[in-house]
Structure 1
């Protein structure tokens, strides 16, 4: 009886051992099968995923294309930019390090605050620019004191430079950092030190001047820190843009204007090329590249002489006596006078209860069209305007291209204004008066 009980117990144990062994064998088989699937069947897929985690592709900004005048004289170039960067994980006490750096170079408080903000957004090993465009003297001071500046390093890049500064500011424009609204999905625009054209030729031809970015394939660890560079493919520099300006004529035009608030344009009469386009006062485009201080920006926008306005293409002013040419052409075209028909100028013209004076109060006497143009006789052109009416004067203005933009390849061009009966009614809701026709002449 005891023996039977032992045999029964042995059978139960054997069955359990077999079940447990079978379960273990099944688990090992499933594990081996899964390992085979991952390491053999899916090997290529996971190899790619591992490389994606291990290898990063980084963009290399291309050199911006140069801008030259019609004779190849460089107007906008790239210069070496020595900048000082700080790495948080190496700096230790960042505020103390920045304070020591500020004793060696000019480091405004606003720049210190910017660096601290960027450090909160970026990883500890990412270099952050503390200041750009260092002079040789500043670079030397930083390098000599390097042992006392943990985490501080000097890097060399390229920056835009305008050797003629204010002389070409309104033509060339300037480059500056990319704003949030200008991010279009192009990863090149997201690089922290990348600059784009904001005005002038720099903006109009920005797509050509930018060039094509290069790439650097780097190996990184699990934290994203660069271990080594695996390969590098240099990008394509931006295109060299040649404009029609003659730098010597441009300089001459600016010198002639001097300190006046004015503009001047010199054209090649044979083909219409713009040889000089001057507008004063100007501004220093290099300041926009390095970044304006709030005080500098306020001084520019509050200046009543409008240094940021390109007066040659965006200034809107009454044409004065130059408009007499339009009235003369309209009068000849309409047949209301001939070149030799004379008009008497007593120094004024009466219209109802109003008197419209000539600039020469004692009058010019009898004037034909040639003499009236030569003397800029107001009374003669009052008479022509009265004979024509404002709408025929406006029609000739439109035929001559006034009141329209030229399609100039600089941003910010504004059209002029051609008044007429319809314009005044639509704009002001008022009727046109004959006296307004006279002063249009």
Structure 2
């Protein structure tokens, strides 16, 4: 019976695979394990960074855990910004007048009205600047247009805060176009009033400027209209009018109206929501630990980082910090406790009582240096640092191990090639020998 010419290749392939299969299977298993660990460490690193960002955000820009609110007796007259330092109380205001910006209009103008020489002088807020009319013609077409004049005023390097613009209107009967030059202050207040003077261009300003808007300060009385303490501002905003309270008035009151009442008080619901935000962020992180380090069994999947002591140490550090007292106060004093799974829960009734008794204690626990948030931030930085952080170091180590496994693949490929070539020679020789024997046997058949 003739021997199949592919038989040596088949046998060489089978035997060479047998020689390296055990090592290849172990390498594949190792790579799968390392890839799972790498993904898990990356997931945990992201979760740690998200938690760190969430908790440090609670004190960004010096923000407080305490949230105060402001309530007005009437809407549409004012808005308020209230800080944690605001003292609760009731205040009254009478809005006598709002601040406004000065605005003038010079009407009935044409491009031909812009003189070829002279200068316009503008004064505002104690500062002056001039526009040389000879340099107004920017496109050098020989015409000094009103558009170019407005542009020159706005572009003046020492412009003190004055904006020039043009308004065009068409007479519906004659079709004649009338142009008005508007001069407006960019800032409100009496001190920002605009005055215009001329040097050799009296004809241009022969028309008396019309005052469209007065330059006036806001006047608000602390208390009632009669007998209240007058307060004045160049703008409608009064910063820290009361400690921790800034007000912006948006509508003046008519004489005889009742004063505007403002009630400043603690917003317990918003403060509680902020604490719940911390709790939710912590519990989300603990959920990541639970899934990644799960021991498995009884149908439950084993986590990629199960039994990893270094990962458990991170979890232990966080659980310890949220139970630690800082300055004599801890989360448990404000109704925040950990259950048997390490998740935090809030007792709303205890929180409300503790907040009413010691609001400053809650704020210090979260906001001051060396307390809860600061300690969490510093501890997490050790793990999430982009240069020498524990998570980065761990990922680098796992990537190194994956690299070594892939080196093993290359070595196994070389071993396979050696085994294959050796078996191919052996089985090729055997096939040739058997073929020769069959040929010899045929000669004596």
Give TM-score scaled by structure 2 length.
0.18
Structure number with higher relative contact order (C-alpha < 8 Å, ≥ 6 residues apart):
2
Give TM-score scaled by structure 1 length.
0.18
